[in-house]
Each structure stands twice: as structure tokens, then as C-alpha cells.
Structure 1
Amino acid sequence: MKIALITPYYAPPVRGNAVTVRRIAAHLATAGCEAAVYSLDCLTAAQILEEIRQMKPDAIHGFHAYLGGRVAREIARVVGIPYIVTLTGSDVYEALADDRREESLAVLRDATAIVAFDPSVKHRVVDHHPSLAAKTRIIPQGVELPGEIFCWGEERFDAGEIVFFLPAGLRPVKNVGFPLATMAELHGEDSRVRLVAAGPVLDETYGATVLAEMVRHPFARYLGEVGHDAIGAIYRRADVVLNTSIFEGGMANSVLEAMAFGRPVLAADIEGNRSIVKEGKTGLLYRDEGELLQKARDLLQDDGLRRRLGEQGRRFVEERFSAGREAEAYRELYGWVLG
């Protein structure tokens, strides 16, 4: 099978859509599919159409209903082949609730199949349009597992520091500024505490605000954009990985990656995080600043808790969220779409 993948973002490679599409494309070859990626941050819709005419794929797979999905729908209509849409987060939690709603729903209605990462996302879509239930499939995100086992206690940023690592692009939905006040209080209790953030600035206004606030806190560091191939070194050095998002599209790549590296996760109690962070088993969830402070304090003071959550999270993703399993699920979906 030949599949054309249309993604809204491919560069920088650390954006969620880019990480997801790069991983799926790489593993589809092993699953028996020929995949080509066309990105809207590199090509226009017209250029993608010409590329697809030359490729002659069997189906088109768009990511994000409003962004990649609209282009997939139009090109599929022109060339006369089916298309699939994978929901990635902001299409469900934002585009279906604002002035992009009707176009997004049209894309989903005309798609041969829809993919959600988690049942909670499917339920939200079906609430908007019940007829979409029958063609919506659940395919969880996969994760690239580390190539070797790294033992707890390896090198960290500086000897003796306790590092809370927040991997996220600087944009409002990631809520990167939220933990600063809590971490300041925790640092006041224990001077070893550090907050380290890494990710591209995706919203200039929000990014400027957050970075200005971080400058006021000497325990906080912003590492800028870190290439996806290099970020594993930071996971290995971190003691706790944070996710502070307002919403996620089913499950965050960063949370899966943290677990794959055996790092304990402290995450916002939202639908997308609840799909993989099981309270007290594969990580901890917080609902407000008070819970964030208390659970961060627990992780700071209890090395055994950090070890246990990290190990249980690692086993959880190894068993359920391999990139190979994800690609095989897409190959089976393509087969169903093509009859």
C-alpha cells in the first residue's frame, strides 16, 4: 500500500504533530506500507496535490481535522481516492468549538475513517456529530523506546540538584508558566529544586511573558528548542517530568517519552493525561496549585516513590504503546479503508 501523509507541521521536529508523523512514517515501512510525508509548513496545498498526483497513493492520511484534514479532503476529491483523518488535539478541543467548526465537521463527515488516540477524544467528537461514531477508530500513540536501559542515578544537570523537567512548546495551551509559583515555593523549602523547560517558542507573545517570568526565578532555566534526537539526554538527567497542559489530544508524546525513559510523571488531571497516567501507579495527577505543590513535594522527598513510578510507567508503555504496534494498527486500518 502507498499512503500519502499530510501534516500541518514537520519542522521544527519537536512539535507534537511532527513527532507523531515522523514516528508513524518510519514504522509503516516495517509494517509493509510505503509512506510519503507532505507538510504544510514546507509546501502549499497546490504543491502537495502535484506531488500526490506523481506518487499515485492508494489513500491519503491527514493529521489535524482542520489543518491537514481540509487539504486531504480537497486532494482526495480531485484525485478520487479515500482519505483518513487523525485527530491531534486542538482540532477537537478548539476548532470544533469556534468558527472552524463547520469546516472541521465537513472534513470528518467525508472521511472514510477517523482516528482518535483515546476513547475520551472519540466521545467528544461523537457529541458534536453522533453519526461519526461508526467510522472512528481508537489507535493509541506509540513511543520510540530507548535503545538501552539507563539506571536511576545517572548524571544530572549538576550534582545534587532535583530537576523537574517540563518539555513543551511555548504556547498558551501548554501552560508552561503555571508551575513557576509552585516551584518557587518548593525551592524555598529545598534549595536543590530546579525547574527546567525546553521547547520552541510557538506563540511569541506568550513566550515572551513566560521567559520574562522565568528570568525572575534563578532556579528556573529555559533550554530553548532541543532536537527530538537529543532530548533523551535531558529525560535521563531529570528526576521528575511535568505536563501542565490545558488539554491534550488523547496522550502527549512527552508523557509517553518520559515513561519510556523510566522517569516519574506529574501531570495535569485532564482527559488526555488520564489515558496513560494512572494515579499512584504510572504517575501522579494534580487538579490545582495546591495538589501540584503537595505531589511535587512528595516526589522531591521520596526517592523510592520516584523509582517506583518511573519503573511502573516504563513497563506500562513498553507493554502497550510501542511504535511498531501503532504502525501495524494503521496498516490494518488502511487495509479496511481500501477494502
Structure 2
Amino acid sequence: MNAALITPFYHPPVRGNAVTVDRIARHLAAVGCTARVHALDATLAEEILREVRRSPPDIIHAFHAYLGGRVAREAARGAGVPYVITLTGSDVYEALEDGRRADTLEVLRDAAAIVAFHKCVRCRLSDHHPSLAGKTVVIPQGVEPPGEKFQWGGECFDGGEVVFFLPAGIRPVKNVTFPLSPLAELHREAPQVRLLVAGPILDLAYSARALSEIERNPFARYLGEVGREAIGALYCRADVVLNTSQFEGGMANSVLEALAFGKPVLASFIDGNISVVKEGKTGLLYRGEAEFLEKARMLVRDESLRWHLGANGRQLVREQYAPGREAAAYEALYRTVVTKAD
């Protein structure tokens, strides 16, 4: 089985789409499926179309219905092969709601299959577009803990600090400035509180405002983009990992990575987070600043709660989110789609 994977983003490699596609491609090889990645942030769509026509795969697999899906649809027509779409978040929560709606729906209607990371995303799609329900399947994300070779280059936080860590690309949907106000209040109560933010700058205008706000708070620090070979050290040092996103495509890599490292998660109450973070079991969920502050305070004061949530999260990842299991599910889907197309 040969698959062409089309992703809108592959550079920088720490971005969510890049982490997901790289993991799936590598583990597909282990289950006997050759996967070639075509990245739209490195190659023009026209060149990808030419490459696919020159050497047609058995199946095309695109990530993000609008960004990757439109290229996959055209490539599939030119090569005479089926294509599948993995929903990644903004396609469901934005592109199906704005001026991109018609194009996105065309891509989804023509796809042989649609993959959601969790049933909450499948339900959202089928509630709005019932005709797509029959070909939408759920394949949970896998997770691989990133590396730990990180040089702190300054403060090492070994004086009893309680570190909140927010790994996220700096763009509006990640809402990285949200925790500053409640954590500032908590820092006045508990001076040991710190906030670390790490991730690539993905929106220049938003990043300028966000980094300026972070700099105005002495307990907070932006570390820039930290590579996959190093960011694990930040998870190891963190006492709590945050996800403040306004939406996620089913489950964030950062949340799964935090759980893999046995860290408690404090996350926004959105579909993508509640699919993994179970209140009081693998983490805590918040709605608004007041609830964030209340639960952050609980985590600062109660080390045993942090340990309990982290231990449960690590066990959950081991049982349900193995990357080999994810790849095997995709390979089985490919075979089903290709068999039907023959």
C-alpha cells in the first residue's frame, strides 16, 4: 500500500499538523504502508499535483479539509485514486462556518472517507451535515513523548517554584495571553508561581501583542520555539501543563504529551480537550477566568492532586493512544477504501 500524505503545514516541525503527520507517516511504515509526505508550506500545490500524477499512489490522505483537502481532491481526480480527509480543527470550527464553507463541503462530499480524532468532532460534523455521517470514522491520535535535551540558559526553577507550562504556537486560536491575568492574581497569593510559554510565532500581529503582554508580567517567560528534541525537558519540569485553546480538532498533541509525561492538565472546556481531559481524573477543565483561577489555586496548593492526575493521565495514554494503534487503524481504513474503489 502506497499513500500520499498532503499536509498544509510541516515546517516548523513543532507545529501540531507537522507532529501528527510525521508520527503517522513513520508508524505507517511499521505496518507495511509506504507514506510520502507532501507539504504545502514547502512545495507549491501545482508541483504536488504533478508529482502525484507522475507516480500515482494507491490512496491520497489529506489533513485539513480546506487547506490540504482541495489539493487532495484535484490530485485524486488526476491520478484516478480515492482520497480521505483527516479533520484537524479549524476546518470544522472555522472553514465550515465562513466563506470557505462551499469549497470545504465539496471536498468532504467527494472524499471516500473522513477521519475525526474523537466522536465529539464527528457528532459536530454530522449534526450540521448529516449526509457526511456515514463515511466519518473516529481514529484517536497517537502520542510520542518528545525529547528532553534542553538547555535552560538562565533560571532553572529549582527553588520550589510551581511552573505552569503552555506549549502552543503563537496565534489567536491558542489564546496564550488568557492565563496571564488569573495567574498574576495567583502569583500575588503564591509568589512561587511561574508561567512558561513555548512555541513558534505563527501570527505576527497577534504575537507582537501577546509577547508584549507576557513581558509585562515578571512571573511569565516566553521561551521561543523549542524543538521536538528538546521540549520534553519542559514537560518534565512543569508542575501543570495548560491548554487555553478556543478550539481543537479533537485532541491536542500537547495535551497528550503532557499526559504521557505524567503531568496534570488544566484546559479550556472545549470539545477537543474534554475528549481527553476527564475532570478530576486526568486533569481539570475551566470555563472563564474565575474557574481557571480556582482550579489553578487547587493545583498549586495540593501536590498530591497533581500527582494523582498525572499518574492517571500517563496510564490513559499507555492504554489508548499508542502510535502503532493509530497507524494500524489508518492502514485498515486505506485498505477498505481502496478495495471499494476497485
TM tier, shorter chain?
A: over 0.9
SS in structure 1 opposite 2:123?
Answer: helix
Unaligned 5+ segments in structure 1 are 149-154
Question: In 2, are the aligned partners of 1:145 and 1:318 still within 8 Å (CA)?
Answer: no
Once superposed, what is the RMSD of the aligned Cα atoms? 1.4
CA drift of 1:145 comes to: 4.2
Change (3 A) 1:134 1:156: farther
What is the one-letter code of the residue matched to 1:216? R
Aligned residue for 1:90? 90
Question: In 1, are the aligned partners of 2:53 and 2:78 still within 8 Å (CA)?
Answer: no
SS in structure 2 opposite 1:35?
Answer: strand
Aligned residue for 1:115? 115
Distance in 2 (CA, whole Å) between partners of 1:75 and 1:88 is: 20
SS in structure 2 opposite 1:94?
Answer: helix
Runs of 4+ in 1 over 3 A off after TM superposition: 145-148, 155-158
Query: TM-score scaled by structure 2?
Result: 0.95
CA drift of 1:336 comes to: 0.5
Q: Deviations over 1:102-150 (max 9, x none)?
A: 00000000000000001111112112321111110000111014799xx
Question: In 1, are the aligned partners of 2:146 and 2:230 still within 8 Å (CA)?
Answer: no
Distance in 2 (CA, whole Å) between partners of 1:125 and 1:312 is: 30
Distance in 2 (CA, whole Å) between partners of 1:315 and 1:74 is: 42
Distance in 1 (CA, whole Å) between partners of 2:280 and 2:332 is: 34
SS in structure 2 opposite 1:22?
Answer: helix
Aligned residue for 2:47? 47
Aligned residue for 1:210? 210
Question: In 2, are the aligned partners of 1:156 and 1:238 still within 8 Å (CA)?
Answer: no
Aligned residue for 1:278? 278
Aligned residue for 2:251? 251
Q: Deviations over 1:290-330 (max 9, x none)?
A: 11001101110111011110010000011000111000000
Question: In 2, are the aligned partners of 1:245 and 1:268 still within 8 Å (CA)?
Answer: yes
Distance in 2 (CA, whole Å) between partners of 1:57 and 1:97 is: 32
What is the one-letter code of the residue matched to 2:313? G
Distance in 2 (CA, whole Å) between partners of 1:78 and 1:128 is: 30
Change (3 A) 1:105 1:332: same
% identical equivalent positions: 67
SS in structure 2 opposite 1:49?
Answer: helix
CA drift of 1:31 comes to: 1.2
Aligned residue for 1:174? 174
Distance in 2 (CA, whole Å) between partners of 1:147 and 1:165 is: 16
Aligned residue for 2:331? 331
Distance in 2 (CA, whole Å) between partners of 1:74 and 1:188 is: 56
Query: TM-score scaled by structure 1?
Result: 0.96
| Larger deviation, residues 228-237 vs 90-99 | 228-237
